[in-house]
Amino acid sequence: MAAMTTRQRPRFGLAAIVILCGLFFFVPLYAAAKFGFYSDFKHKFTLDPLKELTAGAKGPPFRTSVWLSVRLAASTTVASLVLMVPTMVWLHLKVPKLRPVAELVSILPYVVPAIALVAGASKAFRTAWPFILVNPLGMIPLYVIVALPFTYRSLDAGLSAIDLRTLAEASRSLGAGWLRTIRSVVVPNMVTSILGASFLTMAVVLGEYTISALLLHTTFPVYLVQATGDSPRGGPALSILSILVTWLLLGLISLTQRRRGSSPIASPLVRKG
Amino acid sequence: MSVIATEAIEEGRPEDGRPSSAMPKTRKRLSWAWLGTVPFFAFIMVFLIWPTIVIGMQAFKNKDGSTGTKNVGKAMSGEYLRAFKTTANLSIITAVVGGLIGILLAYAISTLERPRFLKKAVTTFSGVASQLGGVPLAFAFIATLGSQGLVTLWLKDHLSFDLLEHGFSIYTFRGLIVVYLYFQIPLMVIVMLPAIEGLKATWREAAENLGASKLRYWIHVGIPILSPAALSGVVLLFANAFSAYATAYALTAGQVNLVSIQIGFFLQGNVLDDPALGYSLAFWMIVFMALSILIYQLLQRRTSRWLR
């Protein structure tokens, strides 16, 4: 509607598309919030469905599942960074010829989606390393794989944006060793992309359902599905909260990365123009 | 691993292939350099490549343990073939519909100049929503279009339109289409926006100066330049829907016959068939995903040619 004033011809069609899409995206969120937090009988805001759900009639309690998801998110993030930051710095500085190989590897988790990965992993590790499957924290390596496209993409973008070689050479010629160079020169220059990779990894892990459900670990999303059977209004209530947490995490990325015009959380598969 | 080793060794050799005095030194340094990537590639080998190889090996194993293609064939017949067809239908419908709406939305936000916050708002939202699959999304849609959902009741009360009577239920194939569009449209916006923004104003001006109508500009300039991006986006959306599990399972409790849900049944041990058949299903899924991603990458390469 507002576009009418800017050009000679009104752009009703385009405005209509934006408004219709806006409705399609907004209404489910509104509905979930109203369904979960509004009592039809008392006609007012209520936390009863949420309390009912988190009380959890059957299975492990709510808190255990949230705590597990939080621990998984934190440790997967740390593991991802420990593996990926030195690797990416090394790839950019020392072996740029291997970068295409690493980039190809980084999109492999799309080719082997979570449902296939968990099928393969449950067979591959059953006898050799059963703790990967039995211990809930054993899922960390699998989660690192699932988050790899995001981690790679974010760190690669961060490293490409700085003149790494010059920085490293300057630091080395001033007498710093490699460790010191990475710690006090390289990492401070890629804080944004490290934060971006971390928030994305956390969002991915907190919402991950396929792997944990099929390995029978009650993470938060698994609890959500189980408990909603007993409390149909609690499901949407908790869902809207979890969507808000995801938004908060991903919103933090766009706060740290202010590049105009481009989406802050572009899909790892989308090439930059 | 052999790829890496070969590349590193090749790098150590001077480009003209003649031996030089500097060679031993160079080779030594470079052979150490690739070692720095070993932890990464080893990790990938153990936790990604090895499980994939295991799927391949199990897929080509018959019931009696011998090697053969019986299960791979069976995974493409009967109920399982129907699962692949349903999954392909769902993926194609949501990719094409989501793709078209996504293109229109991307075009709209790059053309409309006001409100100013529009583009930023839509791109940020798209980045988030394209990742927002899974359980919470399914429940949000149950609250919207489920039997007691907000929109369902509103339609009944205000327009006396009963969704169920008209053959729509959120817990079915049709419902999945609507829910999948929630992450498909934003993903398409992300893919298309750089291409649409890459259409240079000078091209349009040149066409206009040469006397081309708006329609001709689109037929001869706009659409040919945008079509690789649009096609690649649709392929990406297809792959995205093809492999989804959580959303479909949370919404339909496994009632819709999708490949991912069938694989899940096998892993849960809910199937009387040969348990190894699950690996054949996973094998075919990987084949389809690999093909889609490959086509996507090739098309993206064509797209980026115009985006400099």
C-alpha dist (Å) from residue B69 to A111, B62, B265, B273: 22, 7, 22, 16
The mean pLDDT value for A217-225 works out to 89
Q: Which secondary structure element, helix H or strand E, spans residue A7, and what is its range?
A: none
The mean pLDDT value for A105-110 works out to 91
Stated length of chain A: 273
DSSP states of A73-99:
HHHHHHHHHHHHHHHHHHHHHT-GGGH
Whether A207 sits inside 8 A of B136 (CB atoms) is yes
What is the per-residue pLDDT for B50? 95
Whether the CA torsion A49, A51, A57, A59 is positive or negative: it is positive
Which of helix, strand or coil describes residue B171? coil
Contacts of B34 in chain A (CB under 8 A): 95, 98
pTM of the model: 0.84
Nearest CA in chain A to B284: A116
Contacts of A6 in chain B (CB under 8 A): 113-114
Type of residue numbered B249: Y
d(CA A185, CA A162): 11
Q: At CA A76, angle to CA A29 and CA B264, rounded to 5?
A: 65
> Which phi and psi angles does A34 have, rounded to 5°?
-70, -45
d(CA B64, CA B70): 11
d(CA B154, CA B242): 32
Whether A242 sits inside 8 A of B136 (CB atoms) is yes
Q: How far is B128 from chain A (nearest CA, A)?
A: 6
CB A133 within 8 A of CB A214: no
What is the per-residue pLDDT for A242? 86
Whether A107 sits inside 8 A of B39 (CB atoms) is no
Which of helix, strand or coil describes residue B160? coil
Tell me the two tokens of residue B108.
Answer: 């709209």
Cα Rg of chain A, angstroms: 23
Whether B125 sits inside 8 A of A266 (CB atoms) is no
pLDDT, one tens digit per residue, over A206-220 is: 889 999 999 999 998
* Bond from prior residue into B115 cis (ω within 30 degrees of 0): yes
pLDDT, one tens digit per residue, over B239-292 is: 999 999 999 998 888 889 999 999 999 988 877 777 788 999 999 999 999 999
Contacts of B254 in chain A (CB under 8 A): none
The mean pLDDT value for A34-54 works out to 74
Q: What does the mean pLDDT of chain A come to?
A: 83
Contacts of A262 in chain B (CB under 8 A): 123, 193-194
The mean pLDDT value for A131-144 works out to 91
Helix locations, B199-222, DSSP H: 201-209, 214-217
According to DSSP, the β-strands at A44-45 and A38-39 are antiparallel
Tell me the two tokens of residue A86.
Answer: 């030195």
Nearest CA in chain B to A148: B44
pLDDT tops 90 at residue A54 = no
pLDDT tops 90 at residue A119 = yes
What is the per-residue pLDDT for B16? 46
Q: At CA B303, angle to CA A20 and CA B239, rounded to 5?
A: 60
Q: How far is A3 from chain B (nearest CA, A)?
A: 5
Helix locations, B21-169, DSSP H: 23-35, 38-44, 50-59, 70-74, 78-111, 117-129, 134-145, 150-159
Tell me the two tokens of residue B160.
Answer: 């006396």
Selection from B6, B97, B73, B14 nearest residue A97 by Cα: B6
Q: What is the number of other CB atoms lying within 10 angstroms of the CB of residue A260?
A: 7
- Beta-ladder partners of A39: A44
Tell me the two tokens of residue B78.
Answer: 């009967």
Tell me the two tokens of residue B239.
Answer: 């792959």
C-alpha dist (Å) from residue A79 to A83, A143, B276: 6, 10, 32
Which of helix, strand or coil describes residue A126? coil
Q: How far is A87 from chain B (nearest CA, A)?
A: 6
Residue tagged 């389809």 (tokens): B288
What is the per-residue pLDDT for A257? 65
Whether residue B1 lies within 8 A of chain A, CB to CB, comes out as no
Selection from A163, A157, A168 nearest residue A192 by Cα: A157
CB A210 within 8 A of CB A172: no
pLDDT, one tens digit per residue, over B80-107 is: 999 999 999 999 999 999 999 999 999 9
d(CA A38, CA B41): 51
What is the per-residue pLDDT for A205? 92
Helix locations, chain A, DSSP H: 12-37, 48-55, 62-93, 99-106, 108-111, 114-124, 131-134, 140-161, 164-173, 178-181, 187-189, 191-207, 210-214, 220-228, 234-256
Nearest CA in chain B to A201: B131
| Percent of residues, chain A, with pLDDT higher than 90 | 31
What is the per-residue pLDDT for A1? 42
- Using 50 as the pLDDT threshold, list the residues of chain B that sit under it: 1-26
d(CA A223, CA A227): 6
Q: At CA A124, angle to CA A122 and CA A125, rounded to 5?
A: 70
Q: Which of A157-166, A226-235, A238-247, B83-92 has the highest mean pLDDT?
A: B83-92
Selection from A266, A16, A260, A27 nearest residue B105 by Cα: A16
d(CA A245, CA B155): 31
CB B191 within 8 A of CB A270: yes
The mean pLDDT value for A124-151 works out to 90
pLDDT, one tens digit per residue, over A1-35 is: 444 444 445 578 888 999 999 999 999 999 988 88
In angstroms, how far is the first alpha carbon of chain B from the final one?
Answer: 34
Mutate to test the interface with A, among B7, B31, B38, B112 (most CBs of A within 10 A): B112
CB A53 within 8 A of CB A232: no
Whether B111 sits inside 8 A of A14 (CB atoms) is yes
Whether residue B123 lies within 8 A of chain A, CB to CB, comes out as yes
d(CA A89, CA A69): 29
Among A86, A107, A239, beta carbon nearest to B140:
A239
Whether B140 sits inside 8 A of A243 (CB atoms) is yes
Helical pair B134-145 and B150-159, crossing angle rounded to 10 deg:
20
Q: Could you say which residues from 177 to 236 on chain A have a Cβ atom under 8 Å away from some Cβ of chain B?
A: 200, 203-204, 207-210, 213-214, 221, 224-225, 228, 232, 235-236
Quote the longest CA-to-CA distance of chain B.
88
The mean pLDDT value for A131-147 works out to 91
Size of interface A-B (CB pairs under 8 A): 303
Nearest CA in chain B to A83: B40
Contacts of B54 in chain A (CB under 8 A): 120, 123-124
pLDDT tops 80 at residue A59 = no
